[in-house]
Amino acid sequence: MTKKLRSAAVLLLAAALCTSSMLCTGCGAKSKPDESSARIVYTPEVPESRVDEDAPGEEFNAGIGETVNYADKVDVTLNKVIELDDVNKMKYRVLLAEITINNKSDKKIDCSTLTHFYTVIDGEKSVEPVRDVQAAVAGRKYYTAIKSPLENFNQAIEAGTTLNGYVYIYAPTSWKEMQLVYTPYKYYNTDKVIFTLDETKCEHHKTTGE
């Protein structure tokens, strides 16, 4: 797939996610608009000379509640993982990984759920679980219900600043091992921050906030 086709696919998916967000918040005349539904889709910069994504890179491993310091440039903390219990668990599950990213460098870094994260579930690497519309909608419903300003990652993180966000994950009904992988400098190197998601350490809530 060419770079243009890849970019078009990501933009189409992002548009679908924004539409789903608007649908889940309702459209009554007296309702306060959901600010997240009007967010501009952020497109990360892709250099002309990009790194081979299959090239091996350094790996930094952690779990829920732990922080990874990447090259003294970025601190990444997986604060907690929430499972939403009122989705159709006979078919799928939804996990919300709440993450804090501190950009300690002197340059901005890109950070997008659609491009900088993927999962490895029982040995299978895939970007689809973090691009799923059902999981995106369920996550938005939950954070709207609890009146949280938390958003999925969709912007640049300026130098010296910290960003809190979440990654939604469409998960199978059962799994043995799951990892959420974050690539801080996607397109520039293939170093990875790998968080192992321990099912026994997940919090359980509903999309209603209960």
In a domain, 152, yes or no: yes
pLDDT of residue 5: 38
Taking the C-alpha atoms of residue 69 and residue 125, their distance in angstroms, rounded to an integer, is 23
Structural domain boundaries enclosing 173: 3-47+58-205
Nearest 5°: the CA angle 179, 195, 65 is 135
pLDDT of residue 79: 98
Report the domain count for the chain.
1
- CATH at residue 171: 2.60.40.1240
In a domain, 52, yes or no: no
pLDDT of residue 40: 67
Q: Which residues contact 48 (CB under 8 A, 6 or more apart)?
A: none
pLDDT of residue 171: 97
The residues with which 75 forms a beta bridge, in sequence order, are 69, 102
Query: pLDDT tens for residues 61-99?
Result: 999 999 999 999 999 999 999 999 999 999 999 999 999
Give the helix ranges, DSSP H, for 40-153.
113-116, 133-145
Q: CB burial class (10 A; 0-12, 13-18, 19+) of residue 58?
A: exposed
In a domain, 42, yes or no: yes
In a domain, 210, yes or no: no
